[in-house]
C-alpha cells in the first residue's frame, strides 16, 4: 500500500549515511505563526500531487479544547496529510486513529523540512509520541536520524493490538529536558506542520522487505528488493519479528551492477541503520542485537559486524554483483510482548579512497599521502569552514600505519577530526587517530583519540598554531579474527574558531 521512500539520501561526514533530497518538489514558504492561529479546524480537503492522498487541515487545539489531550483527540485518517499549527508556546496537539494488531505504520512530521536553510531554528523542532488506548506510552521520536537537514520526527512501528491509538505532536522545547542542549532553540516564527501516518507493506518491485519468517536456516534468506532511480537506489526498509530470543533472521542482498559511482576514487558500500527500540524509540520490546554482513559461502565469519547496543549504523564495503547476507539477531534472552525490528538499508559510495595498496607507501610522516581540503558548510549557520575526507584499509596491523598530509586553509586555524572503524563494523581493534605536525609530533596533548565500540573516534578543538600543513595518522592494535574487513573512514574539519 505504501512504499517507504526517504526524503534524503547521500553520503555524509565520516562515512555516516546522510540524506539529501531525491524527489522533493519545491515547497512554498510556510505561513508564519499568526497564520490560522486560534481559528477553527478547516474541513477542506484536496488531492496530494505526489501521493494522491487527501489532505485535511487543522490548526490544532490552540492549547485547550478538542485535541488538547488524549482524552479528547482530533480524528486522524491513515494515508491522509493532516495540517496543524503549534501556534501557542507549550501547545500539544493530540490525534486518534484505529489500528490493527501487526499493522506496520510510518509516522511522519514535516515542519523544518520546509526551510530553505538546514536546521533553521525559526521552525518548530517536532516531537511525536504514540500512546496505547489506555494512555500508556508506546513509542516516541524526536528527530528522524536519517534526515541530515532538519529535526523533523519520523519513525516506523508495528502495532501490538487492535484498537484505538493516540498520537501527540509538540515542540521539543515543551517536552524534552534541557531544551537548550537538546532542541533547536530560538523564537519559532514558522509553526505549521504536516502529519501523515501510512501503512507500510511489502509489495513486488517496491523498496520494502519483510522477513518471511522461515529464513532462519543456513540455506535460505529473504531477498532484498531495490528500486532503480536512474542509476541510483533509494533506501530499502527491512523489518521482521523475533519469534523467540534465539531467533535469527537472514536477508540476501546483491549490489546491482548498474549502481552509478559518483567518482572513480570511491568504492561501493552497503549501509544498515538500526532504528532504536523501546518507549523512546519504535515501541519494540526487543532490542536489536548483533547484525552482520557475511559471505553466503562462509557465513561463520563476518565481513562487517556491529552490536546494536554499541552502534546503530553498520557499513560494509561491497562489490557490485556479489551476493551477501545480512544476519539479524535479537539482544537479551527474555521474550517481550511485541518483539520486532526495523532496519533502513541504503546503497552508496564511500569517501575518497587511499591510493596505497598493502603497507609501506604512507607508513611514516615523511611518506604521508596528500589529501585535498575543500570548502565545507558555506551556507551553514553553524560553522562554515573546510574539510578533508579519506577512506582506506589497514592491511596488516599493527605494522600498517597510514599518514595523510593536509594544507591548513588560511583563516581556519582550528581543526577537529572524526573517524569510524569498529564503531561501524570494521574488524580493526584498538583503532587510534592522531593529528600531527609535519615532523610527527602531536599538535596538542589531546590531539589523539582511541576508538571505542560504542562511539566514533573524535579529536576536538586542536589549534594548528600557524602551521601551513598538518598530518593525520591512523593505526590499529589488532584485527578481530571473526571480522575480516579492515576499513576506516575519516573526516577532518577546519574552522575559524574553536568549534565544535
187 lies in a domain? yes
At 325 the pLDDT is 97
Mean pLDDT for the stretch of residues 156-163: 97
CB proximity list for 345: less than 8 A, separation 6 or greater: 224, 235, 236, 237, 238, 253, 270, 271, 272, 273, 326
Other beta carbons within 10 angstroms of residue 482's beta carbon come to 11
- Verify that 446 and 484 share a domain, yes or no: yes
Of 199, 227, 259, the domain-final residue: 199
- Verify that 194 and 214 share a domain, yes or no: no
14 lies in a domain? no
- Verify that 194 and 216 share a domain, yes or no: no
- Verify that 337 and 407 share a domain, yes or no: no
Checking if the pLDDT of 135 tops 80, the result is yes
Q: By CB neighbour count within 10 A (0-12 exposed, 13-18 middle, 19+ buried), where does 76 fall?
A: buried
pLDDT digits (tens, 9 = 90+) for 325-346: 999 999 988 889 999 999 999 9
75 lies in a domain? yes
- Verify that 148 and 268 share a domain, yes or no: no
Higher pLDDT, 468 or 498: 468
At 150 the pLDDT is 73
Contact status, residue 485 vs residue 316, Cβ threshold 8 Å: yes
Pick the closest to residue 263 from 149, 407, 159, 391 (CA basis).
391
Scan for cell 535469527, then name that residue.
248
Q: How confident is the model at residue 217 (pLDDT cuts 50, 70, 90)?
A: low
Question: Could you give the dihedral angle defined by the CA atoms of residues 270, 297, 488 and 359, in that order, rounded to the nearest 10 degrees?
Answer: -140
- Verify that 445 and 477 share a domain, yes or no: yes
3-class secondary-structure state, position 202: coil
As beta bridge partners, residue 428 has 479
Question: Could you give the dihedral angle defined by the CA atoms of residues 143, 148, 150 and 151, in that order, rounded to the nearest 10 degrees?
Answer: 10
At 181 the pLDDT is 77
- Verify that 330 and 479 share a domain, yes or no: no
Mean pLDDT for the stretch of residues 147-164: 89
330 lies in a domain? yes
Mean pLDDT for the stretch of residues 414-425: 96
481 lies in a domain? yes
Q: How confident is the model at residue 428 (pLDDT cuts 50, 70, 90)?
A: very high
453 lies in a domain? yes
Checking if the pLDDT of 178 tops 90, the result is no
Least confident of 52-61, 135-144, 448-457: 52-61
Mean pLDDT for the stretch of residues 290-318: 94
At 1 the pLDDT is 43
- Verify that 319 and 425 share a domain, yes or no: no
Least confident of 27-31, 343-347, 445-449, 459-463: 27-31
- Verify that 231 and 321 share a domain, yes or no: yes
Checking if the pLDDT of 31 tops 50, the result is no
- How far apart, in whole angstroms, are the C-alpha atoms of residue 4 and residue 197? 12
At 388 the pLDDT is 96
Higher pLDDT, 377 or 79: 79
- Verify that 412 and 491 share a domain, yes or no: yes
pLDDT digits (tens, 9 = 90+) for 238-255: 999 998 999 999 999 999
3 lies in a domain? no
At 18 the pLDDT is 39
Least confident of 52-61, 145-154, 339-348: 52-61
Helix (H) or strand (E) run with residue 180 in it? helix 179-182
Phi and psi at residue 140, to the nearest 5°: -160, 145
Mean pLDDT for the stretch of residues 177-197: 85
3-class secondary-structure state, position 434: strand
- The count of structural domains within the chain is 3
pLDDT digits (tens, 9 = 90+) for 251-272: 999 999 888 887 788 999 999 9
- Verify that 129 and 229 share a domain, yes or no: no
Mean pLDDT for the stretch of residues 156-161: 96
At 16 the pLDDT is 35
Average pLDDT, the chain: 83
Checking if the pLDDT of 144 tops 90, the result is no
Mean pLDDT for the stretch of residues 211-240: 80
Least confident of 79-93, 100-114, 213-227: 213-227
**Global pTM value:** 0.83
Segments forming the whole domain that contains residue 430: 365-495
- Verify that 55 and 195 share a domain, yes or no: yes
- Signed CA dihedral, 477, 483, 487, 492: sign only: negative
Scan for cell 521539543, then name that residue.
172
Contact status, residue 104 vs residue 239, Cβ threshold 8 Å: yes
| CATH number (domain holding residue 400) | 2.60.120.380
Of 349, 378, 395, the domain-final residue: 349
274 lies in a domain? yes
Q: How many percent of the chain have pLDDT more than 90?
A: 58
Mean pLDDT for the stretch of residues 82-101: 95
DSSP code of residue 445: T
Pairing of strands 137-141, 208-210: unpaired
Checking if the pLDDT of 25 tops 50, the result is no
Mean pLDDT for the stretch of residues 309-338: 92
Least confident of 3-12, 87-96, 295-304, 354-363: 3-12
At 295 the pLDDT is 96
Phi and psi at residue 179, to the nearest 5°: -60, -25
Of 175, 199, 223, the domain-final residue: 199
Amino acid at each position: 500500500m505504501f512504499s517507504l521512500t526517504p526524503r534524503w539520501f547521500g553520503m555524509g561526514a565520516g562515512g555516516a549515511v546522510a540524506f539529501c533530497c531525491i524527489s522533493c518538489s519545491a515547497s512554498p514558504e510556510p505561513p508564519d505563526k499568526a497564520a490560522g492561529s486560534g481559528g477553527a479546524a478547516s474541513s477542506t480537503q484536496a488531492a496530494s500531487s505526489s501521493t494522491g492522498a487527501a489532505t485535511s487541515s487543522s490548526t490544532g487545539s490552540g492549547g485547550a479544547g478538542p485535541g488538547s489531550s488524549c482524552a479528547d483527540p482530533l480524528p486522524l485518517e491513515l494515508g491522509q496529510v493532516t495540517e496543524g499549527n503549534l501556534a501557542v508556546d507549550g501547545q500539544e496537539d493530540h490525534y486518534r486513529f484505529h489500528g490493527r494488531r501487526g499493522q506496520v505504520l510510518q509516522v511522519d512530521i514535516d515542519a523544518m523540512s520546509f526551510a530553505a536553510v538546514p536546521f533553521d531554528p525559526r521552525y518548530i523542532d517536532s516531537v511525536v509520541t504514540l500512546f496505547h488506548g489506555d494512555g500508556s506510552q508506546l513509542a516516541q521520536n524526536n528527530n528522524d536520524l536519517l534526515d541530515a537537514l532538519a529535526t523533523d520526527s519520523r519513525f516506523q512501528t508495528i502495532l501490538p493490538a487492535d484498537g484505538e491509538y493516540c498520537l501527540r505532536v509538540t515542540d521539543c522545547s515543551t517536552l524534552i529536558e534541557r531544551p537548550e542542549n537538546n532542541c533547536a532553540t530560538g523564537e519559532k516564527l514558522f509553526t505549521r506542520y504536516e502529519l501523515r501516518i501510512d501503512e507500510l507493506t511489502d509489495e513486488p518491485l517496491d523498496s520494502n522487505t519483510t522477513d518471511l519468517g522461515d529464513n532462519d536456516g543456513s540455506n535460505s534468506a529473504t531477498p532484498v528488493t531495490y528500486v532503480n532511480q536512474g542509476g541510483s537506489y533509494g533506501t530499502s526498509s527491512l523489518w521482521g519479528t523475533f519469534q523467540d530470543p534465539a531467533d535469527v533472521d537472514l536477508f540476501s542482498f546483491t549490489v546491482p551492477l548498474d549502481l552509478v559511482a559518483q567518482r572513480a576514487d570511491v568504492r561501493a558500500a552497503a549501509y544498515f541503520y538500526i532504528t532504536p527500540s523501546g518507549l523512546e524509540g519504535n515501541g519494540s520490546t526487543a532490542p536489536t542485537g548483533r547484525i552482520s554482513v557475511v559471505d553466503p559461502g562462509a557465513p561463520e565469519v563476518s565481513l562487517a559486524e556491529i552490536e546494536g547496543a554499541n552502534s546503530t549504523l553498520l557499513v560494509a564495503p561491497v562489490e557490485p554483483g556479489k551476493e551477501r547476507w545480512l544476519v539479524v539477531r535479537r539482544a537479551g534472552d527474555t521474550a517481550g510482548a511485541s518483539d520486532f525490528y526495523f532496519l533502513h538499508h541504503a546503497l552508496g559510495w564511500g569517501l575518497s579512497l587511499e591510493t596505497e595498496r598493502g603497507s609501506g607507501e604512507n607508513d611514516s610522516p615523511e611518506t604521508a599521502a596528500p589529501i585535498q581540503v575543500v570548502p565545507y558548510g558555506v551556507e551553514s549557520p553553524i560553522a562554515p569552514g573546510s574539510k578533508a575526507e579519506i577512506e582506506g584499509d589497514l592491511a596488516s596491523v599493527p605494522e600498517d600505519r597510514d599518514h595523510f598530509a593536509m594544507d591548513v586553509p588560511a583563516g581556519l586555524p582550528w581543526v577537529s577530526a572524526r573517524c569510524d572503524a569498529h564503531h561501524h563494523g570494521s574488524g580493526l581493534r584498538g583503532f587510534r587517530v592522531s593529528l600531527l605536525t609535519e615532523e610527527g609530533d602531536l599538535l596538542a596533548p589531546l590531539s589523539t583519540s582511541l576508538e571505542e565500540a560504542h562511539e566514533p573516534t573524535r579529536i576536538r578543538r586542536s589549534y594548528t598554531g600557524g602551521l601551513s600543513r598538518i598530518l593525520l595518522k591512523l593505526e590499529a592494535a589488532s584485527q578481530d579474527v571473526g571480522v575480516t574487513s579492515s576499513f576506516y573512514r575519516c573526516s577532518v574539519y577546519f574552522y575559524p574558531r574553536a568549534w565544535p
